[in-house]
Amino acid sequence: MQKPQTASVSLLHRIEYLLLTLAVRLFRALPLGPASAVMGKLWRWIAPFTHRHGRALDHLAQALPELSARERETILRDMWENLGRVAVETFHIREILAAPERIEFVADAETRAILDKGAPCLFVSLHAGNWELSVMPAVQRGLDIAGVYQALKNPGADQLLRDMRGDLYRGGLFSKGPDTARKLLSIARNHSAHIAIMGDLKEKRGLEITFFGLPATATPVPATLAWAGKLPLVIGRVSRVKGVHFRIEAKVLPMARSDDRKADIQAATQAYHDLFEDWIREDPAQWMWIHRKWA
């Protein structure tokens, strides 16, 4: 006999899945531009009343104390609008992939050479703009990308969102877990796919770094995989230019490979966080300030 608590969770999951399915159908029925705009405005108006808005304000005040309270509020309302747009644009990924005119790609010569040759590499990005599209230049060149994501507790909703990202991650989309690092290490060493990882999240047992002059923690996985697989680190960001149009920037980050593996990984992790910080300072509304990044 099913336990009452398990039954209630199962019922909740079914309701959540049904609501998500309805939302997907509704926003897919709308053209991409209006759907993105509508959800963006809804989030801009509603999200500031949630507890996450207060957390984001605290983070922004810590990182950029020179801003006034009014400036921080404006930045975060712009952030919420962007996040609302991202949520709906996930439902339209295939449509965006089929419209290369929506993307401006800016990269250094080394990155372009890697992509044009299909050479093995490791992509690292941050939650800016519509970060889901950070691998789009590689996908458009026919490269298979293996990605990592945080699985949802609702298995039905999780599978639905995984399927939406399938065209971006033909090399596999792996949920965070104890076996994921081993799978990625095998991919990195065998060069069986190009790996893409978001590198800006907090990691409780990660490396200690400095971010916006404050102590923070970071996952060592991107630099570790690049070091082990002798892969170039390609650091990228996505910026929303206007509506559903984006600029994707990418550059190769030099990485030392000395006898001191830990020091090389630490230095590379700090280096791409320094680059992340520069990018965020340029346009702070593009980044997701709700992350509990700082220690």
Spatial separation of the C-alpha atoms in residues 36 and 90, rounded to whole Å = 10
Residue 9's pLDDT band (cuts 50, 70, 90): confident
Is the residue at 237 inside a domain?
A: yes
Least reliable range by pLDDT among 12-16, 79-83, 237-241: 12-16
* CA torsion through residues 215, 51, 239, 138, sign: positive
Average of per-residue pLDDT values in the chain? 93
In the chain, % of residues over pLDDT 90: 79
Q: Across residues 69-95, what is the average pLDDT?
A: 96
Structural domain that includes position 211: 4-286
Q: State mean pLDDT over 193-209.
A: 92
Pairwise CA distance, residues 32 & 86, whole Å: 11
In a domain, 295, yes or no: no
Is the pLDDT score of 103 beyond 60?
Answer: yes
Mean pLDDT of 150-155: 86
**10 Å Cβ neighbour count for 99?**
13
Residue 261 inside a domain? The answer is yes
> What pLDDT is attached to residue 1?
45
Across 69-75, average pLDDT = 98
Residue 292 lies in a domain: no
Does a structural domain hold residue 293?
no
Instruction: Name the domain count of the chain.
Output: 1
Sign of the CA dihedral running 285, 212, 255, 227? negative
Evaluate if residue 10 carries a pLDDT over 80.
yes
Q: Where are the alpha helices (DSSP H) in the chain?
A: 4-29, 32-46, 51-63, 69-89, 93-97, 109-117, 136-140, 155-164, 180-190, 221-229, 261-282
Asked if residue 102 belongs to a domain, the reply is yes
